[in-house]
Amino acid sequence: MSLENSYPRVTVAEAGRHNGETVEIAGWLYNLRRGGKICFPQLRDGTGIIQCVAVKSALPEDLFESLKNLTQESSLMIRGKIREESRAPGGYELDVEGADILQRVPEETPYPITPKDHGIDFLMDHRHLWLRSRRQNAAIRVRHEVIKGIRDYFDSHGFVLVDTPIFTPAACEGTSTLFEVDYFEDEKVYLTQSGQLYNEATSAAFGKTYCFGPTFRAEKSKTRRHLTEFWMVEPEMSYANLEDVKRVGEELVTFVVGRVSEHRREELKVLERDVTKLESIQAPFHRMSYDEAVVKLQAKGSEIVWGGDFGNTDETLLTEGLDRPVMVDRYPTAVKAFYFQPADDRPEVALGVDFIAPEGYGEIIGGGQRIHSLELLKQRLQEHNLPEEAFNWYLDLRRYGSVPHAGFGMGVERFVAWMCGLEHIRETIAFPRMLYRTRP
Protein backbone atom coordinates (compact mmCIF):
# COMPACT_ATOMS: atom_id res chain seq x y z
CA MET A 1 0.00 0.00 0.00
CA SER A 2 1.24 3.45 -0.83
CA LEU A 3 1.78 5.86 2.00
CA GLU A 4 1.76 8.78 -0.43
CA ASN A 5 -1.20 11.05 -1.01
CA SER A 6 -1.94 14.70 -1.41
CA TYR A 7 -2.94 15.38 2.19
CA PRO A 8 -0.33 16.86 4.50
CA ARG A 9 0.57 14.33 7.18
CA VAL A 10 0.45 15.70 10.73
CA THR A 11 0.73 14.15 14.15
CA VAL A 12 -1.92 14.32 16.84
CA ALA A 13 0.35 16.59 18.86
CA GLU A 14 0.49 19.02 15.93
CA ALA A 15 -3.23 18.91 15.17
CA GLY A 16 -3.97 22.18 16.99
CA ARG A 17 -1.76 24.06 14.55
CA HIS A 18 -3.87 22.82 11.64
CA ASN A 19 -7.30 23.84 12.83
CA GLY A 20 -9.68 24.04 9.87
CA GLU A 21 -7.26 22.27 7.53
CA THR A 22 -7.68 18.95 5.83
CA VAL A 23 -4.87 16.62 6.87
CA GLU A 24 -3.93 13.00 7.31
CA ILE A 25 -3.07 11.33 10.62
CA ALA A 26 -1.50 7.88 10.66
CA GLY A 27 -1.90 5.70 13.70
CA TRP A 28 -3.69 2.87 15.42
CA LEU A 29 -7.23 2.46 16.66
CA TYR A 30 -7.24 3.21 20.36
CA ASN A 31 -10.94 3.00 21.02
CA LEU A 32 -14.22 3.15 19.14
CA ARG A 33 -17.68 4.36 20.05
CA ARG A 34 -20.46 3.81 17.56
CA GLY A 35 -24.08 4.54 16.79
CA GLY A 36 -26.12 3.57 13.72
CA LYS A 37 -25.25 6.49 11.49
CA ILE A 38 -22.12 7.77 13.15
CA CYS A 39 -19.01 6.35 14.78
CA PHE A 40 -16.09 7.82 16.69
CA PRO A 41 -12.77 6.08 16.10
CA GLN A 42 -10.13 7.32 18.51
CA LEU A 43 -6.80 7.38 16.76
CA ARG A 44 -3.53 6.95 18.66
CA ASP A 45 -0.29 7.88 16.91
CA GLY A 46 2.25 7.86 19.74
CA THR A 47 2.14 11.64 20.15
CA GLY A 48 -1.43 11.71 21.44
CA ILE A 49 -4.97 10.52 20.90
CA ILE A 50 -7.54 12.28 18.75
CA GLN A 51 -11.21 11.51 18.40
CA CYS A 52 -12.41 11.25 14.80
CA VAL A 53 -16.00 11.63 13.71
CA ALA A 54 -17.21 9.41 10.85
CA VAL A 55 -20.70 10.15 9.54
CA LYS A 56 -22.35 7.47 7.41
CA SER A 57 -23.93 9.86 4.93
CA ALA A 58 -20.60 11.60 4.25
CA LEU A 59 -18.59 8.47 3.40
CA PRO A 60 -18.63 5.60 0.91
CA GLU A 61 -20.73 2.86 2.47
CA ASP A 62 -17.99 0.19 2.64
CA LEU A 63 -15.56 2.59 4.30
CA PHE A 64 -18.08 3.56 6.95
CA GLU A 65 -18.82 -0.12 7.64
CA SER A 66 -15.10 -0.93 7.89
CA LEU A 67 -14.47 1.90 10.33
CA LYS A 68 -17.49 1.02 12.39
CA ASN A 69 -16.31 -2.57 12.76
CA LEU A 70 -12.67 -1.83 13.25
CA THR A 71 -10.80 -3.69 16.00
CA GLN A 72 -8.53 -2.27 18.69
CA GLU A 73 -4.95 -1.47 17.54
CA SER A 74 -5.73 -1.91 13.85
CA SER A 75 -3.45 0.37 11.86
CA LEU A 76 -4.95 3.08 9.69
CA MET A 77 -4.46 6.48 8.13
CA ILE A 78 -7.38 8.84 8.45
CA ARG A 79 -7.93 11.95 6.38
CA GLY A 80 -10.22 14.80 7.22
CA LYS A 81 -10.64 18.25 8.62
CA ILE A 82 -9.37 19.26 12.05
CA ARG A 83 -11.97 21.07 14.11
CA GLU A 84 -11.63 22.76 17.47
CA GLU A 85 -13.81 21.04 20.05
CA SER A 86 -13.47 22.26 23.60
CA ARG A 87 -15.07 19.11 25.04
CA ALA A 88 -12.56 16.77 23.35
CA PRO A 89 -9.59 15.63 25.50
CA GLY A 90 -6.92 17.24 23.29
CA GLY A 91 -9.15 20.15 22.32
CA TYR A 92 -9.58 19.02 18.68
CA GLU A 93 -11.48 16.47 16.65
CA LEU A 94 -11.15 15.26 13.08
CA ASP A 95 -14.12 14.99 10.72
CA VAL A 96 -13.41 11.93 8.60
CA GLU A 97 -13.36 12.32 4.80
CA GLY A 98 -11.37 9.22 3.94
CA ALA A 99 -9.22 6.47 5.41
CA ASP A 100 -6.90 3.59 4.53
CA ILE A 101 -6.83 0.61 6.81
CA LEU A 102 -3.36 -0.98 6.68
CA GLN A 103 -3.97 -3.95 8.91
CA ARG A 104 -7.16 -4.97 10.61
CA VAL A 105 -6.52 -6.93 13.79
CA PRO A 106 -8.52 -10.16 13.30
CA GLU A 107 -11.41 -10.87 15.69
CA GLU A 108 -9.97 -14.33 16.40
CA THR A 109 -6.76 -12.84 17.79
CA PRO A 110 -7.85 -9.61 19.46
CA TYR A 111 -5.39 -7.16 20.98
CA PRO A 112 -4.63 -8.70 24.37
CA ILE A 113 -4.57 -5.50 26.45
CA THR A 114 -8.14 -4.31 26.86
CA PRO A 115 -9.40 -1.40 28.95
CA LYS A 116 -10.18 -3.83 31.80
CA ASP A 117 -7.66 -4.25 34.62
CA HIS A 118 -4.83 -6.69 33.95
CA GLY A 119 -2.40 -8.12 36.48
CA ILE A 120 1.15 -6.80 36.46
CA ASP A 121 2.66 -10.12 35.30
CA PHE A 122 0.33 -10.20 32.32
CA LEU A 123 1.25 -6.63 31.45
CA MET A 124 4.97 -7.29 31.84
CA ASP A 125 4.68 -10.38 29.61
CA HIS A 126 3.10 -8.07 27.03
CA ARG A 127 5.49 -5.21 27.61
CA HIS A 128 6.10 -4.92 23.83
CA LEU A 129 2.42 -3.97 23.49
CA TRP A 130 1.88 -2.37 26.87
CA LEU A 131 4.23 0.43 25.77
CA ARG A 132 1.39 1.67 23.57
CA SER A 133 -0.74 2.64 26.53
CA ARG A 134 -1.02 6.23 27.71
CA ARG A 135 0.70 5.90 31.06
CA GLN A 136 3.61 3.92 29.66
CA ASN A 137 3.98 6.39 26.83
CA ALA A 138 4.07 9.24 29.37
CA ALA A 139 6.68 7.56 31.58
CA ILE A 140 9.01 6.82 28.67
CA ARG A 141 8.70 10.39 27.45
CA VAL A 142 9.64 11.64 30.90
CA ARG A 143 12.65 9.31 30.72
CA HIS A 144 13.64 10.88 27.41
CA GLU A 145 13.42 14.34 28.97
CA VAL A 146 15.51 13.25 31.96
CA ILE A 147 18.23 11.86 29.70
CA LYS A 148 18.20 14.98 27.54
CA GLY A 149 18.35 17.18 30.63
CA ILE A 150 21.30 15.25 32.04
CA ARG A 151 23.22 15.55 28.78
CA ASP A 152 22.42 19.24 28.43
CA TYR A 153 23.60 19.90 31.97
CA PHE A 154 26.97 18.21 31.54
CA ASP A 155 27.52 19.41 27.98
CA SER A 156 27.04 23.00 29.09
CA HIS A 157 29.29 22.70 32.15
CA GLY A 158 32.56 21.68 30.51
CA PHE A 159 32.25 17.90 30.79
CA VAL A 160 33.38 15.75 27.87
CA LEU A 161 31.33 12.64 27.11
CA VAL A 162 33.69 9.66 27.01
CA ASP A 163 31.99 6.28 26.76
CA THR A 164 33.44 3.45 28.82
CA PRO A 165 33.48 -0.28 28.03
CA ILE A 166 30.78 -2.76 29.00
CA PHE A 167 33.04 -5.84 28.97
CA THR A 168 35.42 -5.29 31.86
CA PRO A 169 38.13 -7.41 33.47
CA ALA A 170 37.67 -6.03 37.01
CA ALA A 171 34.97 -5.41 39.61
CA CYS A 172 34.18 -1.84 40.59
CA GLU A 173 31.33 -2.19 43.08
CA GLY A 174 32.15 -5.43 44.94
CA THR A 175 32.39 -8.95 43.60
CA SER A 176 29.00 -10.21 44.78
CA THR A 177 26.95 -8.61 41.99
CA LEU A 178 29.08 -9.43 38.93
CA PHE A 179 27.70 -10.96 35.75
CA GLU A 180 30.38 -13.16 34.27
CA VAL A 181 30.70 -13.59 30.51
CA ASP A 182 32.70 -16.18 28.55
CA TYR A 183 34.99 -14.10 26.39
CA PHE A 184 36.50 -16.49 23.81
CA GLU A 185 38.87 -19.22 24.99
CA ASP A 186 39.92 -19.18 28.60
CA GLU A 187 39.06 -15.58 29.26
CA LYS A 188 36.34 -14.44 31.62
CA VAL A 189 35.14 -10.86 31.71
CA TYR A 190 32.31 -9.13 33.55
CA LEU A 191 29.51 -6.85 32.45
CA THR A 192 30.34 -3.43 33.86
CA GLN A 193 28.86 -2.37 37.19
CA SER A 194 30.02 1.21 36.69
CA GLY A 195 32.24 3.17 34.31
CA GLN A 196 33.91 4.95 37.21
CA LEU A 197 37.36 3.37 37.06
CA TYR A 198 37.65 4.32 33.39
CA ASN A 199 36.24 7.77 34.15
CA GLU A 200 39.13 8.28 36.51
CA ALA A 201 41.48 7.71 33.56
CA THR A 202 39.50 9.95 31.20
CA SER A 203 39.15 12.77 33.73
CA ALA A 204 42.94 12.86 34.06
CA ALA A 205 43.05 13.13 30.26
CA PHE A 206 40.25 15.71 29.79
CA GLY A 207 39.73 17.39 33.18
CA LYS A 208 36.02 16.73 33.53
CA THR A 209 34.26 13.83 31.84
CA TYR A 210 31.10 11.78 32.05
CA CYS A 211 29.98 8.43 30.78
CA PHE A 212 26.39 7.46 30.21
CA GLY A 213 25.35 3.95 29.48
CA PRO A 214 23.91 0.68 30.69
CA THR A 215 25.39 -0.92 33.80
CA PHE A 216 24.75 -4.35 35.26
CA ARG A 217 24.33 -5.75 38.74
CA ALA A 218 23.52 -9.34 39.57
CA GLU A 219 21.37 -8.12 42.45
CA LYS A 220 19.47 -10.96 44.00
CA SER A 221 17.16 -8.42 45.61
CA LYS A 222 13.61 -8.32 44.34
CA THR A 223 12.69 -4.78 45.30
CA ARG A 224 10.87 -1.98 43.56
CA ARG A 225 14.17 -0.06 43.27
CA HIS A 226 16.46 -2.64 41.68
CA LEU A 227 17.05 -3.64 38.10
CA THR A 228 19.81 -5.99 36.92
CA GLU A 229 20.41 -3.72 33.92
CA PHE A 230 20.07 0.01 34.47
CA TRP A 231 21.37 3.22 32.96
CA MET A 232 23.73 5.37 34.91
CA VAL A 233 25.29 8.75 34.22
CA GLU A 234 28.67 9.13 35.88
CA PRO A 235 30.61 12.40 35.96
CA GLU A 236 34.22 12.50 37.15
CA MET A 237 36.32 15.57 37.94
CA SER A 238 40.08 16.01 38.44
CA TYR A 239 41.26 18.32 41.20
CA ALA A 240 37.96 17.87 43.01
CA ASN A 241 36.70 16.65 46.37
CA LEU A 242 33.59 15.53 48.21
CA GLU A 243 32.19 19.09 48.35
CA ASP A 244 32.39 19.34 44.56
CA VAL A 245 30.35 16.17 44.26
CA LYS A 246 27.64 17.62 46.48
CA ARG A 247 27.60 20.90 44.58
CA VAL A 248 27.45 19.34 41.11
CA GLY A 249 24.96 16.67 42.17
CA GLU A 250 22.64 19.29 43.64
CA GLU A 251 22.87 21.44 40.52
CA LEU A 252 22.28 18.50 38.23
CA VAL A 253 19.23 17.28 40.12
CA THR A 254 17.58 20.70 40.32
CA PHE A 255 18.32 21.35 36.64
CA VAL A 256 16.79 18.08 35.46
CA VAL A 257 13.77 18.33 37.78
CA GLY A 258 13.19 21.83 36.38
CA ARG A 259 13.34 20.53 32.83
CA VAL A 260 10.85 17.77 33.52
CA SER A 261 8.34 19.94 35.34
CA GLU A 262 8.60 22.59 32.64
CA HIS A 263 8.55 20.43 29.49
CA ARG A 264 6.58 17.36 30.52
CA ARG A 265 3.44 18.85 32.08
CA GLU A 266 1.10 16.80 29.91
CA GLU A 267 2.85 13.55 30.70
CA LEU A 268 2.91 14.29 34.43
CA LYS A 269 -0.81 14.93 34.23
CA VAL A 270 -1.40 11.55 32.58
CA LEU A 271 0.68 9.98 35.36
CA GLU A 272 -1.35 11.92 37.95
CA ARG A 273 1.89 13.22 39.41
CA ASP A 274 1.58 15.96 42.00
CA VAL A 275 3.72 18.60 40.28
CA THR A 276 3.99 20.78 43.37
CA LYS A 277 6.17 18.02 44.85
CA LEU A 278 8.60 18.49 41.97
CA GLU A 279 8.46 22.27 42.11
CA SER A 280 9.69 22.25 45.69
CA ILE A 281 12.90 20.44 44.68
CA GLN A 282 15.20 23.45 45.05
CA ALA A 283 18.72 23.97 46.33
CA PRO A 284 19.94 23.81 49.02
CA PHE A 285 19.23 20.17 49.73
CA HIS A 286 19.33 18.87 53.28
CA ARG A 287 22.76 17.75 54.46
CA MET A 288 23.69 15.38 57.25
CA SER A 289 26.53 13.10 58.18
CA TYR A 290 26.16 9.35 58.47
CA ASP A 291 26.62 9.77 62.23
CA GLU A 292 23.67 12.15 62.41
CA ALA A 293 21.60 9.92 60.19
CA VAL A 294 22.14 6.94 62.51
CA VAL A 295 21.00 8.96 65.51
CA LYS A 296 17.96 10.20 63.63
CA LEU A 297 17.06 6.68 62.49
CA GLN A 298 17.43 5.20 65.95
CA ALA A 299 15.09 7.88 67.29
CA LYS A 300 12.58 6.79 64.65
CA GLY A 301 12.80 3.18 65.78
CA SER A 302 15.24 1.74 63.21
CA GLU A 303 17.52 -1.09 64.36
CA ILE A 304 20.53 0.44 62.60
CA VAL A 305 23.75 0.59 64.61
CA TRP A 306 26.83 2.62 63.71
CA GLY A 307 28.75 0.69 61.06
CA GLY A 308 25.77 -0.78 59.23
CA ASP A 309 24.50 0.20 55.79
CA PHE A 310 21.03 1.72 55.38
CA GLY A 311 18.21 -0.49 54.18
CA ASN A 312 15.34 0.70 51.99
CA THR A 313 13.19 1.43 55.03
CA ASP A 314 15.98 3.47 56.62
CA GLU A 315 16.31 5.58 53.47
CA THR A 316 12.57 6.20 53.46
CA LEU A 317 12.61 7.13 57.16
CA LEU A 318 15.46 9.59 56.60
CA THR A 319 13.46 11.71 54.18
CA GLU A 320 10.16 11.45 56.02
CA GLY A 321 8.54 14.87 56.12
CA LEU A 322 11.21 16.37 53.85
CA ASP A 323 10.31 18.02 50.55
CA ARG A 324 13.73 17.70 48.90
CA PRO A 325 16.59 15.21 48.79
CA VAL A 326 18.97 14.71 51.67
CA MET A 327 22.73 14.28 51.13
CA VAL A 328 24.20 11.88 53.64
CA ASP A 329 27.99 11.85 53.76
CA ARG A 330 30.93 10.22 55.53
CA TYR A 331 29.81 6.60 55.69
CA PRO A 332 31.86 4.00 57.54
CA THR A 333 34.81 3.08 55.32
CA ALA A 334 34.09 -0.59 55.95
CA VAL A 335 30.69 -0.58 54.15
CA LYS A 336 31.95 1.33 51.13
CA ALA A 337 33.76 0.25 47.95
CA PHE A 338 37.56 -0.05 47.93
CA TYR A 339 38.24 3.22 46.10
CA PHE A 340 36.82 5.73 48.62
CA GLN A 341 39.21 8.27 50.11
CA PRO A 342 39.13 8.08 53.91
CA ALA A 343 38.65 11.35 55.83
CA ASP A 344 42.02 12.82 56.91
CA ASP A 345 40.96 13.37 60.49
CA ARG A 346 38.94 10.15 60.82
CA PRO A 347 40.01 7.27 58.54
CA GLU A 348 37.13 5.07 59.74
CA VAL A 349 34.77 7.20 57.64
CA ALA A 350 34.91 7.58 53.86
CA LEU A 351 34.50 10.79 51.87
CA GLY A 352 31.42 9.50 50.11
CA VAL A 353 27.90 10.87 49.78
CA ASP A 354 24.51 9.43 48.89
CA PHE A 355 21.63 11.59 47.72
CA ILE A 356 18.37 10.17 49.03
CA ALA A 357 15.23 11.31 47.25
CA PRO A 358 12.05 12.15 49.17
CA GLU A 359 8.75 10.24 48.99
CA GLY A 360 10.46 6.88 49.44
CA TYR A 361 12.40 6.85 46.16
CA GLY A 362 15.66 6.04 47.92
CA GLU A 363 19.24 6.59 46.83
CA ILE A 364 19.42 8.31 43.45
CA ILE A 365 23.09 9.35 43.56
CA GLY A 366 26.13 7.69 45.07
CA GLY A 367 29.66 9.02 44.83
CA GLY A 368 32.54 10.75 46.50
CA GLN A 369 36.24 11.35 46.52
CA ARG A 370 38.66 8.67 45.31
CA ILE A 371 41.89 7.47 46.88
CA HIS A 372 44.80 9.24 45.18
CA SER A 373 47.68 7.62 47.09
CA LEU A 374 49.26 4.63 45.34
CA GLU A 375 50.20 2.92 48.60
CA LEU A 376 46.79 3.23 50.20
CA LEU A 377 45.05 2.05 47.06
CA LYS A 378 47.23 -1.06 46.84
CA GLN A 379 46.48 -1.79 50.48
CA ARG A 380 42.73 -1.48 49.87
CA LEU A 381 42.83 -3.82 46.87
CA GLN A 382 44.42 -6.42 49.14
CA GLU A 383 41.90 -5.87 51.95
CA HIS A 384 39.07 -6.35 49.44
CA ASN A 385 40.70 -9.44 47.90
CA LEU A 386 40.86 -7.83 44.48
CA PRO A 387 43.59 -9.07 42.09
CA GLU A 388 46.19 -6.34 41.68
CA GLU A 389 47.08 -7.30 38.10
CA ALA A 390 43.55 -6.55 36.89
CA PHE A 391 43.92 -3.05 38.37
CA ASN A 392 47.43 -2.32 37.23
CA TRP A 393 46.33 0.26 34.69
CA TYR A 394 44.16 1.88 37.39
CA LEU A 395 47.13 2.09 39.71
CA ASP A 396 49.05 3.87 36.93
CA LEU A 397 46.68 6.82 37.45
CA ARG A 398 48.30 7.15 40.92
CA ARG A 399 51.81 6.81 39.47
CA TYR A 400 51.60 9.56 36.88
CA GLY A 401 50.38 12.89 38.21
CA SER A 402 47.96 11.69 40.84
CA VAL A 403 45.55 14.36 42.13
CA PRO A 404 42.50 14.42 44.39
CA HIS A 405 39.52 13.62 42.19
CA ALA A 406 35.88 12.86 42.70
CA GLY A 407 32.68 11.92 40.94
CA PHE A 408 29.37 10.19 41.25
CA GLY A 409 26.79 8.00 39.57
CA MET A 410 23.10 8.76 39.14
CA GLY A 411 20.69 5.97 38.26
CA VAL A 412 18.35 7.07 35.47
CA GLU A 413 15.52 4.69 36.31
CA ARG A 414 15.34 5.64 39.99
CA PHE A 415 15.32 9.29 38.97
CA VAL A 416 12.53 8.72 36.44
CA ALA A 417 10.47 6.71 38.95
CA TRP A 418 10.73 9.66 41.31
CA MET A 419 9.78 12.22 38.63
CA CYS A 420 6.79 10.15 37.52
CA GLY A 421 5.72 9.16 41.03
CA LEU A 422 5.81 5.50 39.99
CA GLU A 423 5.62 2.84 42.60
CA HIS A 424 8.00 0.49 40.81
CA ILE A 425 11.13 1.07 38.76
CA ARG A 426 10.04 -1.48 36.10
CA GLU A 427 7.89 1.10 34.27
CA THR A 428 10.76 3.55 33.75
CA ILE A 429 12.56 1.56 31.05
CA ALA A 430 11.08 0.06 27.90
CA PHE A 431 12.23 -3.51 28.51
CA PRO A 432 13.24 -3.97 32.15
CA ARG A 433 15.66 -6.64 33.26
CA MET A 434 15.08 -7.90 36.77
CA LEU A 435 15.78 -10.93 38.90
CA TYR A 436 12.92 -12.95 37.40
CA ARG A 437 12.46 -11.11 34.14
CA THR A 438 14.50 -11.23 30.94
CA ARG A 439 11.58 -11.28 28.46
CA PRO A 440 10.31 -9.78 26.24
> Which residues make up the interface to Mg ion (CB under 5 A)?
366
- Residue 329 Cβ vs Mg ion, minimum distance, rounded to whole Å: 12
| Residue 68 in the binding site for ligand 4AD (CB under 6 A) | no
In 157-267, where do the E strands start and end?
A: 160-161, 167-168, 180-183, 187-191, 208-216, 229-238
Of 51, 74, 164, 194, the one binding ligand 4AD by CB under 6 A: 194
| Residue 219 in the binding site for ligand 4AD (CB under 6 A) | yes
Q: Which residues of 271-288 are buried (b: 16+ CB within 10 A; e: fewer)?
A: bebeeebbeebeeebeeb
Contacts 24+ apart (CB under 8 A), 389-394: 390/169, 390/170, 391/170, 391/197, 393/201, 394/170, 394/197, 394/200, 394/201
| Residue 365 in the binding site for ligand 4AD (CB under 6 A) | yes
- Residue 200 Cβ vs ligand 4AD, minimum distance, rounded to whole Å: 9
Cβ proximity to ligand 4AD, 137 vs 196, nearer residue: 196
Strand partners, 304: none
Binds 267: which of Mg ion, ligand 4AD, none (CB < 5-8 Å by kind): none
Contact characters 375-414, ligand 4AD, x per CB under 6 A: --------------------------------xxxxx-xx
- One-character DSSP codes across 19-35: TT-EEEEEEEEEEEEE-
Q: With contact defined as beta carbons under 8 Å apart, do 345 and 218 qualify?
A: no
| Residue 226 in the binding site for ligand 4AD (CB under 6 A) | yes
Of 45, 73, 173, 267, the one binding ligand 4AD by CB under 6 A: 173
Cβ proximity to Mg ion, 232 vs 297, nearer residue: 232
**Cis ω on the peptide bond leading into residue 284 (within 30° of 0)?**
yes
Of 27, 41, 80, 367, the one binding ligand 4AD by CB under 6 A: 367
Contact characters 227-246, ligand 4AD, x per CB under 6 A: x--x-x-x------------
How far is it, in rounded angstroms, from Cα 414 to Cα 403?
Answer: 32
| Phi/psi-derived region of residue 428, left when phi > 0, alpha when psi is between -120 and 50, beta in every other case | alpha
| Residue 203 in the binding site for ligand 4AD (CB under 6 A) | no
- Residue 172 Cβ vs ligand 4AD, minimum distance, rounded to whole Å: 6
What single DSSP character describes residue 305?
-
Residue ranges in contact with ligand 4AD by CB under 6 A: 172-173, 194, 196, 217, 219, 226-227, 230, 232, 234, 363-367, 407-411, 413-414
